[in-house]
């Protein structure tokens, strides 16, 4: 089991955190995902069936790129959508 801390861009609130956590936990091999809004960090635990790049790609597709990536307008818009969906999920659970 591997645990990794990934610094990402665009985390704004609990809605963002909910979306990130829910989507990462859907990935094969990911056993835990924790989001720290104040640190712009995602802590992910995964086994050898998961790949770091798959996790990074999922974060990127949600609009939360690894902090080393260029953070353009399109990614910011994706993150706002993911944030809104997370807020809606928080209301329904």
SS3 83: helix
Query: Where do the H-state alpha helices sit in 9-51?
Result: 14-25
Q: Could you tell me the residue ranges of all domains in the chain?
A: 2-92
Classified by CATH at the fold level, domain 2-92 comes out as Alpha-Beta Plaits (3.30.70)
User: pLDDT in tens for each of the 93 residues of the chain?
Assistant: 999 999 998 888 999 999 999 999 999 999 999 999 988 899 999 999 999 999 999 999 998 988 875 655 556 667 778 888 888 888 876
Q: What is the DSSP letter of 50?
A: S
Cα-based angle 89, 55, 49 (whole degrees, multiple of 5): 115
- What's the CA gap between 40 and 50, in Å, rounded? 22
pLDDT of residue 74: 59
Cα–Cα separations (whole angstroms), residue 40 to 5, 6, 26, 48, 65: 10, 8, 21, 25, 11
């Amino acid at each position: 089991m591997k645990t990794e801390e990934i610094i990402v861009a665009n985390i704004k609130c609990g809605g963002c955190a909910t979306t990130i956590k829910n989507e990462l936990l859907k990935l094969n091999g990911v056993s835990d995902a924790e989001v720290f809004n104040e640190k712009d960090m995602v802590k992910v635990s995964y086994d050898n069936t998961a790949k770091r790049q798959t996790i990074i790609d999922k974060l990127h597709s949600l609009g939360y790129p690894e902090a080393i990536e260029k953070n353009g307008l399109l990614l910011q818009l994706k993150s706002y959508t993911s944030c809104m969906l997370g807020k809606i999920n928080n209301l329904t659970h």
